[in-house]
Amino acid sequence: MRTNFNAREIEVNKQLMNVEQHAVATVVAEPAADCRRLVQVILAGGSGTRLWPVSREQYPKQLIGVVGDQSLLQATMKRMDGFAKSWDVAAEPVIVCGAEHSFATREQAQQCEVKPRIVVEPARRDTAPALTLAALAASADGDDPILVAMPADHAIADIAALQAAIEQAAQLAQAEGVIATLGVPPTRADTGFGYIRLGAPLKDGAHRIDRFVEKPAAELAAEYVASGSYWWNSGMFVVRASVWLDALKRFQPEMHAACVEAHTNAKRDDVYITPGAEEFERCPSDSIDYAVMEQLGKEGSPFTGVVVPLEAGWSDLGSWDAVWEAMDKDEFGNVANGRVMMEGATATYARSEGGRLVACVGTNGLVVVETDDAVLVADRSHVQNIKGLVSRIRQTKSPEAENHRKVRRPWGFYDSIDHGDRFQVKRIVVSPGARLSLQMHHHRAEHWIVVSGTALVTRGEEQFLLTENQSTFIPLGVRHRLENPGHVPLQIIEVQSGAYLGEDDIVRYDDQYGRCN
């Protein structure tokens, strides 16, 4: 038996024991019937492939207004507003997202006047580790709340019906300690959704969970719907924090240990919780369904899974066909978004994002989506193949898989206007009070022209102001920084010239957003 543990291992083991003892103590000390506190957990780790070209890896669908003026993430943030007064709903939701989306997530929360705790995943590990990090964050103050976990990229038409289903699930989680999920009675044989096979019936339409079923083929999906014994899997879960942590520890001990250690070594400020990267990268990747829910019915399991009916106009918006299904249509079954004109078209979805006119003549069952840098034309019955198309685009190292032409940054955004051999032109907009990193480029020089606003420029040892119609030159290899000291957005035109113009030719020396090399 090994006995020569080093100091680091001893400390980590102590931390693990403290967290685990706290979870157990909470369960024993506080009867389930007294737990009336709910914490909304928003899982916002989308990869931006299925709604390409509007959704991209660096700006996925939860950050976009797919079916309304608000983004899907913003709509999700508001879904607990006005919840039953008999419950204590935490004012701060916990949002779990990747580092590349954390600043946009915070910005969108501010627009909604929501002050979340944002857990920034150091690596992608699917939904089970994400929910675990959220459970640890929500119970860090000694509380043991009921978590209401929901993906950030779904559409819900009837919020009152959603809240009624959540309340039913929360009552079961509170009184009986179950892990509850919301299941949607199917309206068609859809191959884009996972299914839940219903077990023994409970009161108010709920059922025990018999098993989870992956997305089926068309014939099998039809059999599921005809049997009446299967519901769609919504991906929404209601569970007490300590119950989730105990279940994960039993079924996935390696995942549990990695998440606890990553949480223990997290960096924290008023908004962000950033778990330890080295610890979290050791965590296995798995979904909530696979890691825990499919284990509940196995012999000897002390945990119970329950599915509560959700009839609220739910869609996971997992394809452009699902977006078409979720939106109001004209008399011919068409959906038009943006500058679109239809002539003799039927059952067509058309969207203009880049401002150009999209004209559809005699189309039937098509998806047509235009952005600044890409156009998608697809048969609605084949939209599930878009994910494979994006993989092929990524393999060619084309930028359209990751970014839009307009790329958002913590300080504002830039728009790549033009490019060619040894040059690139960008429009850069810096938000009031924001600043770019102090940086240097090995392979390019830059010319800056101020279009509007005031720029504070650092160039080598110099620092000076530029106003409208003034310009400056940043030589190759010189440290520089652009800041907006004013109260209105700063807009400049940047002309880059050099042998290599890629975004990875940046050496950062100082950055308020934690992006230094």
CATH of residue 506: 2.60.120.10
Write out pLDDT tens, residues 208-220.
Answer: 999 998 889 999 9
Same domain, 283 and 334: no
Same domain, 432 and 340: no
Rounded to whole angstroms, how far apart are CA atoms 432 and 435? 9
Q: Residue 475 is inside which H or E element, if any?
A: none
What does DSSP say about strands 305-309 and 207-213: parallel, antiparallel, or unpaired?
Answer: antiparallel
Same domain, 146 and 244: yes
The b/e string for 92-119 (b: 16+ C-beta within 10 A; e otherwise) is: bbbbbbbbebbbbbbebbeebebebbbb
Same domain, 81 and 172: yes
What's 186's domain CATH number? 3.90.550.10
Same domain, 330 and 466: no
Residue 349's pLDDT is what?
98
Instruction: Choose one of 366, 391, 416: the last residue of a domain.
Output: 391
Cβ–Cβ under 8 Å, residues 477 and 459: no
Rounded to whole angstroms, how far apart are CA atoms 85 and 177? 21
Residue 18 lies in a domain: no
CA distances from 255 to 12, 125, 127, 147, 250 (A): 15, 10, 12, 19, 10
Q: What is the DSSP letter of 341?
A: E
Same domain, 429 and 448: yes
Rounded to whole angstroms, how far apart are CA atoms 95 and 40? 8
Residue 167's pLDDT is what?
97
**What is the residue-wise DSSP string for 431-474?**
-TT-BPPEEE-SSEEEEEEEEES-EEEEETTEEEEE-TT-EEEE
Cβ–Cβ under 8 Å, residues 178 and 306: yes
Instruction: Choose one of 364, 391, 418: the last residue of a domain.
Output: 391
Write out the two tokens for 503.
């975004």
Write out the two tokens for 391.
């993989």
> In a 3-state reduction of DSSP, which class is residue 140?
coil
Residue 367 lies in a domain: yes
Q: What one-letter code names the amino acid at 433? A: G
Question: How many structural domains is the chain composed of?
Answer: 3
Residue 264 lies in a domain: yes
Return the residue matching tokens 């030719």: 505
Cβ–Cβ under 8 Å, residues 366 and 380: yes
Residue 7 lies in a domain: no
Residue 57 lies in a domain: no
Rounded to whole angstroms, how far apart are CA atoms 323 and 315? 8
Residue 280 lies in a domain: yes
Same domain, 196 and 219: yes
Residue 17's pLDDT is what?
43
Residue 190's pLDDT is what?
86
- φ, ψ (nearest 5 deg) of residue 56: -130, 165
Same domain, 245 and 345: no
Same domain, 278 and 414: no
* Contact partners, residue 222, CB within 8 Å, separation at least 6: 189
Residue 396's pLDDT is what?
92
Q: What is the DSSP letter of 514?
A: S
Same domain, 384 and 240: no
Instruction: Choose one of 285, 315, 345: the last residue of a domain.
Output: 315
**What is the residue-wise DSSP string for 277-303?**
HHHHHTSPP--HHHHTGGGTTSTT---
Cβ–Cβ under 8 Å, residues 53 and 371: yes
Residue 49 lies in a domain: no
Cβ–Cβ under 8 Å, residues 480 and 438: yes
Residue 22 lies in a domain: no
Same domain, 386 and 423: no
CB neighbour class for 440 (10 Å; exposed up to 12, middle 13-18, buried from 19): middle
Write out the two tokens for 383.
């939209």
Write out the two tokens for 132.
């675990």
Q: Which residues of the chain have pLDDT under 50?
A: 1-33
Rounded to whole angstroms, how far apart are CA atoms 83 and 260? 31
- φ, ψ (nearest 5 deg) of residue 242: -70, -35
List the beta bridge partners of residue 385.
none
Range of the domain at 420: 406-510
Q: Could you give the angle at which helices 241-251 and 253-264 cross, rounded to 10 degrees? A: 130
Residue 35's pLDDT is what?
66
Rounded to whole angstroms, how far apart are CA atoms 389 and 214? 22
Rounded to whole angstroms, how far apart are CA atoms 96 and 133? 8
Same domain, 160 and 256: yes
Write out the two tokens for 158.
């009837």
